[in-house]
């Protein structure tokens, strides 16, 4: 839940926030958009967050609805009555009316309504955690979009440079062909390589266009000039530590825990439906002749036979309780699995980076050697082109691996439940999930509370 402290996680959370804060204040031109800027924009502009905040407010109102069931109701009742009388010689018609007040209240229902109130409170807490989960997804999407734009921009730049180099090589091949040093086959190979490079450039430009669209969808605007990403946040030293943090903090797991508690209260409510209910009502009315009347009634109702409905509803509630308990266990398994997956992805990305760095060094050496040997006539034009393509592929793969590593860090944070605006200290006003609930939990009906609710809604942008 946003705004909650998680005990021993505090020191680690502080380390996480330091990683983002340091990068966001590095010396960069004012026009460069940082990763923190992208996440802030995503947090402010996300329609998905706004949708789920509305879902939470609707859940808050369920508490007020159940609270109101223990309060009296008062209504106005007016009637107009026409009386007709007809004898053998005379017809009479009389019109008269009454107006009155009617009040009723449940005096005691053996805890059914109280159970419903507690169940709705647990549902509110579960929905708050679900909102935190949505926030994590929104921020992770912003990180992915930011890094994808940067990586595709680098790949486009590499392909543009490759096209330029191949254009020069084609010109050189034609010059050498003119003086008889090489054959037309060598020229054709250069032409084919250039055409392939241009096609590859076009494809990478298309990938960049799609990455820009994904960025706009994640943040609400197209990217401008993006700053280099900051240092990645610090992570736990071991996978087991990450799992322990996730088991304490992950919003999906906490939401499932609240859902189990809600189901337990709902089962208790269904069990109590067989018990009696005591209510009272009172009426007072005046007719158009000034005659008044008043009455009061106390009613005890006890179900005797309901065709099996009450028992069926109780069994259904027990089954739903078992369902939520099993769902909690499965959520725990899934959270642990997601931590393991993120940990493995990070390890793979880091290993890939080392391998690609070595590949780039070797490919560069090979390219330089083949190029020099070609000048001496011991290598063909095709050998040079193949060596250059290998070098380009290694550099492009290195860019992708670097992006994968950085995103994997934030995926691991998300799997631990720490990828929130508050934990990252993004410097953006966060949504107070309890503000609206605190105003409506007691089912307010007066204008004073109405004004308070107006202020709350204004503060959350409604």
pLDDT in tens, 374-405: 888 788 888 888 898 899 989 999 999 999 99
Q: What is the pLDDT of residue 86?
A: 61
pLDDT digits (tens, 9 = 90+) for 309-365: 999 999 999 999 999 999 999 999 999 999 999 999 999 999 999 999 999 999 999
CA distance 323 to 408: 33
Question: What pLDDT shows up at residue 32?
Answer: 87
Query: Is 415 in contact with 242 (CB distance < 8 Å)?
Result: yes
CA distances from residue 340 to 172, 348, 351 in whole angstroms, order as listed: 53, 12, 16
Q: How many CA atoms lie within 13 Å of 212's alpha carbon, on the beta-carbon side? A: 12
User: Would you list the DSSP string of 226-271?
Assistant: BPPP-PPPP--SSHHHHHHHHHHH-HHHHHHHHHHHHHHHHHHHHH
Q: How far apart are CA 282 and CA 296, in angstroms?
A: 4
Instruction: Judge whether 431 and 460 are in contact, CB under 8 Å.
Output: yes
Tell me, yes or no, if the pTM score tops 0.85. Answer: no
What CA dihedral angle connects 357, 362, 365 and 367, to 10 degrees? -100
Picking from 335, 337, 417, the residue whose alpha carbon sits closest to that of residue 5 is: 417
Quick one: DSSP state of residue 226?
B
Note the helical H segments in 376-429.
381-416, 421-424
CA-to-CA separations, 77 to 71, 166, 218, 283, 394, in angstroms, rounded:
19, 90, 54, 10, 83
- Listed residue (239, 243, 248) closest to 1, CA to CA: 248
Q: Round to whole Å and give the CA distance between 25 and 32.
A: 12
pLDDT of residue 383: 87
* Confidence (pLDDT) at 84: 58
What confidence score (pLDDT) does residue 155 get?
94
Q: Under DSSP, is residue 94 helix (H, G, I), strand (E, B) or coil?
A: strand
- Specify whether the CB–CB gap between 170 and 191 falls below 8 A: yes
d(CA 14, CA 234): 9
Alpha helices, DSSP H, located in 69-111: none
Neighbours of 164 (CB within 10 A): 11
DSSP secondary structure code for residue 445 in this structure: -
Q: Determine if residue 75 is left, alpha or beta; phi over 0 gives left, psi from -120 to 50 gives alpha, anything else beta.
A: beta
Sign of CA dihedral 211, 213, 214, 216: positive
H runs (alpha helix) in 272-308: none
Largest CA distance in the chain: 137
In the chain, which residues have pLDDT < 50? 1-29, 447
- Per the CB < 8 A criterion, the answer to whether 42 and 140 are in contact is no
361: its two tokens: 């060094």
Amino acid 453: pLDDT: 60
d(CA 299, CA 288): 30
Torsion, Cα of 40, 46, 48, 53 (10° steps): 70
Q: Which residues contact 216 (CB under 8 A, 6 or more apart)?
A: 222, 223
């Amino acid at each position: 839940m946003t705004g909650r402290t998680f005990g021993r996680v505090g020191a680690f959370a502080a380390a996480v926030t330091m990683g983002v804060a340091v990068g966001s204040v590095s010396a960069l031109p004012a026009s460069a958009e940082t990763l923190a800027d992208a996440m802030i924009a995503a947090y402010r502009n996300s329609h998905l967050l706004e949708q789920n905040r509305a879902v939470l407010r609707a859940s808050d109102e369920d508490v007020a609805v159940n609270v109101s069931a223990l309060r009296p109701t008062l209504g106005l009742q007016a009637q107009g009555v026409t009386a007709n009388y007809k004898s053998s010689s005379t017809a009479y018609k009389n019109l008269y009316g009454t107006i009155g007040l009617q009040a009723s209240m449940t005096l005691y229902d053996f805890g059914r309504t109280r159970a419903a109130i507690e169940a709705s409170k647990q549902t509110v807490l579960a929905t708050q955690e679900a909102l935190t989960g949505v926030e994590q997804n929104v921020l992770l999407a912003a990180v992915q979009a930011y890094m994808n734009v940067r990586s595709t921009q680098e790949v486009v730049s590499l392909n543009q440079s490759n096209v330029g180099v191949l254009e020069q090589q084609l010109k050189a091949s034609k010059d050498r062909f003119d003086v008889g040093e090489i054959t037309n086959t060598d020229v054709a190979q250069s032409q084919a390589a250039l055409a392939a490079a241009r096609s590859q450039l076009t494809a990478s430009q298309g990938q960049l266009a799609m990455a820009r669209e994904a960025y706009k969808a994640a943040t609400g605007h197209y990217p401008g000039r993006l700053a280099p990403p900051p240092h990645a946040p610090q992570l736990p030293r071991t996978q087991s530590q990450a799992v322990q943090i996730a088991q304490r903090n992950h919003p999906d797991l906490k939401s499932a825990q609240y859902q189990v508690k809600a189901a337990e209260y709902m089962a208790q409510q269904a069990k109590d439906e067989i018990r009696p209910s005591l209510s009272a009502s009172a009426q007072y009315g005046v007719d158009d002749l000034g005659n008044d009347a008043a009455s009061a009634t106390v009613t005890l109702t006890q179900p005797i036979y309901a065709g099996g409905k009450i028992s069926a509803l109780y069994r259904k509630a027990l089954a739903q309780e078992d369902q939520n308990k099993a769902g909690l266990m499965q959520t725990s398994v899934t959270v642990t699995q997601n931590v393991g997956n993120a940990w493995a992805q990070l390890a793979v990305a880091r290993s890939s980076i080392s391998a690609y760095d070595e590949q780039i060094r070797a490919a560069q050496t090979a390219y330089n050697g083949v190029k020099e040997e070609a000048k001496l006539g011991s290598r063909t034009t095709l050998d040079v082109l193949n060596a250059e393509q290998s070098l380009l592929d290694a550099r492009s793969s290195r860019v992708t691996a670097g992006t994968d590593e950085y995103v994997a860090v934030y995926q691991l944070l998300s799997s631990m439940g720490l990828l929130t605006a508050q934990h990252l200290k993004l410097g953006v006003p966060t949504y107070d999930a309890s503000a609206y609930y605190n105003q409506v939990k007691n089912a307010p009906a007066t204008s004073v509370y109405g004004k308070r609710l107006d202020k709350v809604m204004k503060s959350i942008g409604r």
